[in-house]
Structure 1
Amino acid sequence: MTTEMVLRIAQESIYTILIVIAPVVGIALIIGLVVSIFQAATQIQEQTLAFVPKIVAVFLSILFFGPWMLRHVVEFTQSLLGNLSQFVG
């Protein structure tokens, strides 16, 4: 296994991770921003108000995007295992 192959696998791994987590992190970011604006506007500084909506939104986004996320991870894994003979030896 050459250095280029290792770097290519690492690059594909990081790209797959970023693509898979982007929808969930994006939704959490948007919900967090909305809750922060609401807290600033109403001057309510309740700690649980910031976390509960984000937890619910992340859970719902995982339910919604879960099959898509799983398909990307499975495709990456199949690609990696399908080319395993090139990496060994």
Structure 2
Amino acid sequence: MTPESLVDIFREALAVIVMIVSAIVVPGLLVGLVVAVFQAATSINEQTLSFLPRLLVTLLALMFLGHWLIQKLMDFFMQMVQLIPVVVG
């Protein structure tokens, strides 16, 4: 196994992680920004007003993107399993 192949595997793993995490986190961040602007404009300082919409959007993102996220993980796992003979031999 060469260092270049290890770096390629590591790069692909990081790309999959960034894609999956950003698909879950970015919608919550956008909703949090909208709620923060609303709270700043109306001077409402309620903690549940900022937490609950982000939680709901994150759960909805998991619900709607769950199949795609699992498919990406399974594709990466199958690719790694297929690389075992190349890496070992």
TM-score, normalised with respect to structure 2: 0.93
Please tell me the residue identity of whatever aligns with 2:65.
F
Correspondences of 1:7-18 after superposition (within 5 Å): 7-18=7-18
Structure 1 CA distance for aligned equivalents of residues 86 and 13 of structure 2: 17
Question: 1:77: which partner in 2?
Answer: 77
C-alpha displacement of 1:22:
2.1
Structure 1 CA distance for aligned equivalents of residues 23 and 8 of structure 2: 24
Question: 1:87: which partner in 2?
Answer: 87
Correspondences of 1:53-72 after superposition (within 5 Å): 53-72=53-72
Deviations 1:6-62 (A, max 9, x none): 100110000011112222221011101111011101101112221111011100110
List gaps (5 residues or longer) in structure 1. Answer: none
Structure 1 CA distance for aligned equivalents of residues 58 and 82 of structure 2: 32
Structure 1 CA distance for aligned equivalents of residues 6 and 45 of structure 2: 48
Question: 1:50: which partner in 2?
Answer: 50
TM-score, normalised with respect to structure 1: 0.93
**% identical equivalent positions:** 35
Structure 1 CA distance for aligned equivalents of residues 31 and 88 of structure 2: 45
Larger RCO (CA under 8 A, 6+ residues apart): 1
Displacement over 3 Å in runs of 4+ = none
> CA-atom RMSD, angstroms?
1.0
